[in-house]
Amino acid sequence: MTDLTSFIAGLPKAELHVHHVGSASPRIVAELAARHEGASPVPADPAALADYFAFRDFGHFIEVYLSVVDLIRDDEDVRTLTYEVARELARQQVRYAELTITPYSHVRRGIPAPAFCAAIEDARTGAAADFGIDLRWCFDIPGEAGLAAAEETLRIALEERPAGLISFGLGGPEVGVPRPQFKPYFDKARAAGLHSVPHAGETTGPETIWDALRDLGAERIGHGISAARDPQLMAYLADNRIPLEVCPTSNVRTRAVERIEEHPLPVLVAAGVPVTINSDDPPMFGTTLEEEYAVAARLLDLDKPGVAGLARAAVQASFLPAGGKSALLAEIDEYAATS
């Protein structure tokens, strides 16, 4: 496995399901906590964050996640966070990443939408120059905040329209947050040229995924692992080449899956469902994209060519223009042939 670990480390990659705040390294979270000491329960000691990030269930994860969101108080915090997330992704040979960002959470905490968007764009430009990584944005609705959040997220997306914005999503808890109510907002986002990438079927059943497909026009599904319980749905995803953004360790850490050995990834792959491997909220879940590739390799019993196939699948499922896809696929092919 050591040889495969080394292969994964050098493999050029695309990351399609990774959250902005959830990617903050312990160092950055601790720095922000120290900067706002006394105003947050988040520890200012990086060593203490592992215990703070020990989640009881998905609800507790959301609670902790929002406490970290509370640490981001101004546009300079936003710029620093975004740039450092890009640095960590680039360290793992990620050439292209679609970062899920929840502007509503920051704007309602007092950061003006124009300043927020300017900060992420400044970080995107800097990261491209300094690390050679191409960042793009998915603006997502925090589902637990309801239709007011959907309205505001859509407004920010369409009025500010930062250059890196390519897609519109829906995150947060699934239980008690029906997908169909967000249809009008996704309709408008799609009409404006944004791709549809809602979360569905992580902590709820296959019907949530069907709702995301029927009502939200989903082109990819965030998580989507409960599709493994519905053969008809798996056949639909396979036939229509609708990829799932699978995040194995995340599913175990939030208790969506009891044990990694029980993860439905092999069932999905055996049914021909397109899957991509992603890290979700890596520091919070004690993982990296490299580790997620290693986990997937174990679950699927993959060798080097098989792992390279995972990297290709992510590029194919991405919203990169054709030229960018071809270039990154060629880089993966060259690496696989010589490593």
As annotated, the active-site residues are 202
CA distance 292 to 11: 13
Quote the tokens at residue 325. Answer: 């896809």
Tell me the β-bridge partners of 222: 199, 245
Chain centre to alpha carbon of residue 258: 21
CA distance 104 to 299: 37
Quote the tokens at residue 268. Answer: 């999905």
CA distance 159 to 149: 15
Diameter of the chain measured on Cα atoms:
53
For the residues of 12-29, what is the DSSP string, one character each?
-EEEEEEETGGG--HHHH
Buried b (16+ CB within 10 A) or exposed e, 25-54: bbebbbbbbeebeeeeebbbebeebeebbe
Residue 136: CB atoms within 10 A of its CB come to 20
Q: Using alpha carbons only, what angle is made at residue 11 by residues 7 and 13, rounded to the nearest 5 degrees?
A: 145
Q: Using alpha carbons only, what angle is made at residue 334 by residues 95 and 275, rounded to the nearest 5 degrees?
A: 55
Give whole-number Cα distances, 97 to 100, 161, 266, 267, 315, in Å: 9, 18, 25, 26, 10
